[in-house]
């Protein structure tokens, strides 16, 4: 087990970093499109720099074979970030993050159509439980405001877009994960940048100065460093370990939103969190094979 200690630490560190992105976003007085554009471009450049330092070349053949899916998924990633960052503006970090973690459930529901995979009874039950959890988190049941419900819907839109990215990644021909991430990040930034500029995302000079530090944190730490940590360990850990430990991200987000931002953590939010995260984690576990299949 000792040889797995380092990649496990890297994975946990990356998930903790991802879990704090909503907190930092609250400190950036810039539109979501500007943050998404900067995150994509700077994140891709950092990963390219790391590849250069390690004297590792990108797989030109892999990029060419998957170019269309890489570009489309990269654009979807950029739209996903905008929706998620907007969700953080309208509702609590906890609610937005939990709605965003409907993505694995959306992947499960769409897999029979996109990947020709069978939807099992357990996965169907997990999807139903997660949907109930999302209703509880969204504020619809507890009399949430129009803004909080809008934030929850934006979080769900972000989840749908991320699920689309996951499904497109599954359809790609084999290529290194880092190479895929670089192209997708760069595409996300380049696609979103014109929209950010067109909508006047920059603001005045004082606004840009006040935003530069937290924006740099999201670009360098939450994208460059976190992606480097994740892709540095992903090939050395088992799939179910990656799936289960990825739920450190939303747990950190929920806890820190209550501790640092003093956001209310209601009974309905906690119950919804248990339903969403529990169902998503259970849905990702492999099914037991029957004796005839074994």
Read off the pLDDT of residues 61-99 as tens digits, 9 standing for 90 and up. 999 999 999 999 999 999 999 999 999 988 889 889 989
- With a cut of 90, say whether residue 291 has pLDDT above it: no
The predicted structure's pLDDT at residue 269: 83
**pLDDT value of residue 109:** 86
Query: Cα–Cα distance between 285 and 221 in angstroms, integer?
Result: 30
Q: Are 90 and 148 in contact (CB under 8 A)?
A: yes
What are the phi and psi torsion angles at 26 (to 5°)? -60, -20
Asked if residue 293 has pLDDT above 80, the reply is: no
What's the token pair of residue 171?
């359809």
203, pLDDT greater than 60 = no
Domain boundaries, the chain: 2-282
pLDDT for residue 221 is more than 90:
yes
pLDDT, position 2: 46
The pLDDT of residue 226 is above 90: yes
Mean pLDDT for 21-39 is 91
Secondary structure of residue 125 in the 3-state scheme: helix
Banded pLDDT at 43 (limits 50, 70, 90): very high
Instruction: State the pLDDT at residue 3.
Output: 45
pLDDT at 50 exceeding the cut of 50:
yes
Per-residue pLDDT for 142 more than 70?
A: no
Task: Give the pLDDT band (50/70/90) at residue 144.
Answer: low
User: Ramachandran region of residue 55, left (φ > 0), alpha (ψ -120 to 50) or beta?
Assistant: left
Q: Can you give the pLDDT at residue 215?
A: 92
Instruction: Give the pLDDT mean for 113-117.
Output: 81
pLDDT of residue 64: 93
3-state helix, strand, coil in the chain (%, to 5): 80, 0, 20
Which tops the pLDDT comparison, 294 or 288? 288
* Closest of 37, 31, 184, 163 to residue 108, by C-alpha: 163
Helices (H) and strands (E) in the chain, counts: 15, 0
Cβ–Cβ under 8 Å, residues 158 and 282: no
pLDDT tens-digit series, residues 234-273: 878 777 777 778 888 999 998 999 899 888 888 888 888 8
- Mean of per-residue pLDDT scores for the chain: 85
Please report, rounded to a whole number, the percentage of residues in the chain having pLDDT higher than 70: 90
**Model confidence pTM above 0.95:** no
pLDDT at res. 196? 85
Q: Which two tokens stand for residue 213?
A: 């530090």
Characterize 273-285 residue by residue with b for buried, 16 or more Cβ atoms within 10 angstroms of its Cβ, and e for exposed: bebbbebbbebbe
């Amino acid at each position: 087990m000792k040889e797995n200690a380092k990649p496990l630490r890297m994975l946990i560190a990356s998930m903790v970093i991802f879990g704090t992105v909503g907190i930092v976003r609250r400190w950036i007085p810039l539109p979501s499109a500007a943050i998404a554009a900067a995150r994509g471009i700077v994140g891709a450049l950092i990963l390219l720099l790391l590849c250069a330092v390690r004297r590792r070349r990108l797989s030109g053949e892999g990029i060419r074979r998957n170019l269309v899916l890489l570009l489309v998924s990269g654009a979807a990633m950029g739209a996903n970030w905008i929706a998620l960052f907007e969700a953080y503006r309208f509702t609590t970090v906890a609610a937005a993050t939990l709605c965003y973690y409907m993505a694995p459930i959306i992947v499960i529901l769409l897999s029979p159509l996109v990947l020709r995979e069978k939807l099992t009874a357990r996965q169907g039950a997990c999807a139903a439980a997660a949907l109930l959890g999302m209703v509880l988190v969204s504020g619809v049941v507890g009399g949430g405001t129009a803004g909080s419900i809008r934030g929850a819907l934006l979080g769900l839109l972000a989840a749908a877009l991320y699920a689309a990215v996951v499904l497109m990644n599954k359809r790609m021909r084999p290529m290194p994960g880092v190479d895929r991430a670089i192209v997708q990040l760069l595409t996300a930034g380049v696609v979103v940048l014109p929209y950010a500029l067109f909508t006047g995302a920059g603001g005045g000079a004082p606004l840009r100065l006040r935003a530069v530090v937290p924006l740099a944190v999201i670009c360098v730490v939450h994208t460059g460093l976190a992606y480097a940590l994740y892709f540095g360990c992903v090939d050395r850990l088992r799939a179910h370990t990656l799936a289960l430990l990825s739920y450190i991200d939303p747990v950190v987000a929920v806890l820190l939103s209550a501790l640092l931002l003093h956001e209310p953590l209601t009974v309905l939010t906690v119950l919804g969190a248990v339903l969403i995260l529990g169902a998503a984690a259970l849905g990702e576990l492999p099914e037991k094979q029957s004796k005839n299949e074994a």
